Structure 1
Amino acid sequence: MSRPGERATLRLRETGADEPPRYAPEWLRLREPADATARSRGLLDPLRARLVRTPRRADGLVVHDIGCGTGSMGRWLAPRLVGAQHWVLHDRDPYLLHFAAAASPRSAADGSRVTAETRRGDIARLTADVLAGASLVTASALLDVLTREEIGTLVAACAGAGCPALLTLSVAGRVELTEPHAMDAEITEAFNAHQRRGGLLGPDAVTAAAEAFAEHGATVRLEPSPWRLGPGQAALTEQWLRGWVGAAVEERPDLAERADAYLAERLAACAAGELRVVVHHHDLLALCAPVDGGA
């Protein structure tokens, strides 16, 4: 049986010794409904207005989904856009790409055809040439697991290709739990520090990305996209709690004994339907200047 602080949230699947850890599709499927509810609808109208003025290939809009995981972003966004679309699904993990391709959407908001292809690769190799002809670049829950250099690579590729970017669900570093507990702030601080390990930007990522896009001349909009978890999302809340507290303890082992008691109390409240959690995120829309000087 796992200890209360075990990081079950991530459900990392096993990889080789030289490979980075990979997310398991079970965790991505568990969070997908909450992600879909949280994403900002307020960024869709300016995005649609830009896409209407974007030249299209014969097969419609070309959307590059970076770090696509199991493809949840496509399942959310494709049915909200009008017209034929071709999605290019990028991920370093062929296991996740298999799920993304199998469950990719088939039709747009107006019933137009949606197709998909997969490309295995790392964001470090993303360039404007890779994105040539792209109508849109999108990603979900990606920015906060990147370094400043990797965000610079992503931004430069989008700006160089002249395509907009919709980047959703970047952690904001703020969490609210009901009822408040004396350890909430301490766990949050330790978790945020863990998110910044190894040069990753964690909760600083969305600000860094917004600044980088602005430096490239893009118009940038930010909108909140919080998870609001209650009794109806108890399974997700449980897994999130385990991962949140587990990461805090990895960062600060001195918290272990108190954190285990804290987590046990929070899990009991979750099981009883008494716990509500708001996990704050931000969505970012960057409208890069078209390379052909168009609208």
Structure 2
Amino acid sequence: MTKPTATRQGTARVPAQPGPREADGAPPGERPTLRQRDTGAEAADASDASDASDAAGASGASGATRYAPEWLELREGADAAARAPELLDPLRIRLANLPGRSGGLVIHDLGCGTGSMGRWLAPRLDGPQHWVLHDRDPYLLHFAAVSSARSAADGSRVTVETRRGDIARLTPDALTGASLVTASALLDVLTRAEVDTLAAACAGAGCPALLTLTVAGRVDLSPADPLDAEITEAFNAHQRRTGLLGPDAATVACEVFAAHGATVRVQPSPWRLGPDDAELTARWLRGWVGAAVEQRPDLAPRADKYLAARLAACGAGELRVTVHHSDLLALARPTGGTS
């Protein structure tokens, strides 16, 4: 396996120590706590505009589309800047009062990709942490493990293990012993039934869930263009194909988690892209417009001109884009306690 980039933001990273082995002797990465989901590229990788196109670079043995690590790296800074810090204090309070906290936190990162969620969150939480990284792509799992955070906010140790599998369908034992479930850009590529399965698993484990960067279906571009709204509408329709929640995900997730007894908080977490984000903006534009045209081929002649003009403005430093997302914190009732 090709070794991923060993540095991030100028800081050398030492490969993570191997995680503990399971009782049956199998490495955690081979333990099938998650069932694979047989979906095509459209269902698996439409979590945002670029995921609909740029993430479709390679397919695994099962035919499931893999996210391009280059795209995940490119968006990491924007993701980190967008996530809602307002949700961290209520999360810290809940974690501090969880039963069994004395042994440290066990955090499951669903669809971890290159591990950006752990790099953002682990240094913001106190105490020892053990992260369980879930993804279907073994390369991304390796990348996430070797570039993971090494210490918590108070200097406590952070360890990781990896588990290969698709997070769309949790098996009943997947969250046994979990203190927290996290995910980034996940909810919009799930169906309502899959969100219900996730919410039920969190309720059964009595653990909170921090689910960030769910697309909200709104995009603001400056300067504006008459075609903006039509592209947005077509893209949103593309996201809802094959029964996925797309831009309805945050609303549905709030309903579903609340139905399972959780207290739910939502905060906006928009990408705000300007001249310093030209590479990310350009890549996002190509994916966003491409998905819209795939949904509505009749847009192609106008969309081609629109995209060319938008890319030119981006290259000239004249384009600003706000891609709206939502972050959701679901505080399930602790096992044996009350919310």
Normalised to the residue count of structure 1, the TM-score between the two structures is 0.95
Partner residue, 1:199: 243
1:217 matches 2:255: no
Contact 1:166 1:284 in 2 (8 A): yes
Contact 1:231 1:275 in 2 (8 A): yes
Partner residue, 2:336: 292
- From the superposition, tell whether residues 51 and 178 of structure 1 become closer, same or farther in structure 2 (CA, over 3 Å): same
- From the superposition, tell whether residues 7 and 144 of structure 1 become closer, same or farther in structure 2 (CA, over 3 Å): closer
- Unaligned stretches of 5+ residues in structure 1: none
Indicate which of 127, 132, 135 corresponds to 1:83.
127
Indicate which of 201, 206, 210 corresponds to 1:162.
206
Indicate which of 147, 161, 164 corresponds to 1:120.
164
Contact 1:86 1:116 in 2 (8 A): yes
Contact 2:50 2:285 in 1 (8 A): no
Indicate which of 172, 180, 191 corresponds to 1:147.
191
1:229 matches 2:273: yes
Indicate which of 107, 117, 137 corresponds to 2:181.
137
Contact 1:9 1:27 in 2 (8 A): no
- Helix, strand or coil for the counterpart of 1:169? strand
Deviation at residue 30 of structure 1 after TM alignment: 0.2
Contact 2:50 2:284 in 1 (8 A): no
Partner residue, 2:154: 110
Deviation at residue 276 of structure 1 after TM alignment: 0.2
Contact 1:128 1:158 in 2 (8 A): no
- CA separation in 2, counterparts of 1:55 and 1:278? 40
- Helix, strand or coil for the counterpart of 2:77? helix
- From the superposition, tell whether residues 157 and 240 of structure 1 become closer, same or farther in structure 2 (CA, over 3 Å): same
Partner residue, 1:15: 59
Indicate which of 172, 178, 188 corresponds to 2:232.
188
- Superimposed CA distance per residue, residues 65-93 of structure 1 (whole angstroms, 9 cap, x where no aligned partner): 00101100000000000111000001111
- CA separation in 2, counterparts of 1:19 and 1:54? 40
Deviation at residue 50 of structure 1 after TM alignment: 0.3
Partner residue, 2:85: 41
- CA separation in 2, counterparts of 1:48 and 1:18? 39
Contact 1:22 1:93 in 2 (8 A): yes
Partner residue, 1:62: 106
Deviation at residue 167 of structure 1 after TM alignment: 0.1
- CA separation in 2, counterparts of 1:93 and 1:178? 37
Deviation at residue 95 of structure 1 after TM alignment: 1.5
Contact 1:59 1:86 in 2 (8 A): no
1:94 matches 2:138: yes
State the AA in 1 paired with 2:291. A
Contact 2:115 2:147 in 1 (8 A): yes
Deviation at residue 275 of structure 1 after TM alignment: 0.2
- Unaligned stretches of 5+ residues in structure 2: 1-48
- Superimposed CA distance per residue, residues 1-48 of structure 1 (whole angstroms, 9 cap, x where no aligned partner): xxxx99895242221585121111000000000000000000000000
Contact 2:50 2:283 in 1 (8 A): no
- CA separation in 2, counterparts of 1:6 and 1:52? 37
- From the superposition, tell whether residues 124 and 177 of structure 1 become closer, same or farther in structure 2 (CA, over 3 Å): closer
- CA separation in 2, counterparts of 1:268 and 1:173? 24
- CA separation in 2, counterparts of 1:60 and 1:83? 6
State the AA in 2 paired with 1:233. D
- Helix, strand or coil for the counterpart of 2:249? helix
- CA separation in 1, counterparts of 2:228 and 2:212? 25
Normalised to the residue count of structure 2, the TM-score between the two structures is 0.83
Contact 2:55 2:65 in 1 (8 A): no
- What is the alpha-carbon root mean square deviation over aligned residues? 1.8
- Helix, strand or coil for the counterpart of 2:79? helix
- From the superposition, tell whether residues 8 and 121 of structure 1 become closer, same or farther in structure 2 (CA, over 3 Å): closer
Contact 2:59 2:66 in 1 (8 A): yes
- Helix, strand or coil for the counterpart of 2:175? coil
State the AA in 1 paired with 2:246. G
Deviation at residue 55 of structure 1 after TM alignment: 2.9
- CA separation in 1, counterparts of 2:50 and 2:105? 43
How many aligned positions are there? 291
Indicate which of 293, 318, 332 corresponds to 1:249.
293
Contact 1:83 1:109 in 2 (8 A): yes
- CA separation in 1, counterparts of 2:144 and 2:137? 11
- From the superposition, tell whether residues 125 and 173 of structure 1 become closer, same or farther in structure 2 (CA, over 3 Å): closer
Partner residue, 2:311: 267
- Helix, strand or coil for the counterpart of 2:301? helix
- From the superposition, tell whether residues 30 and 287 of structure 1 become closer, same or farther in structure 2 (CA, over 3 Å): same
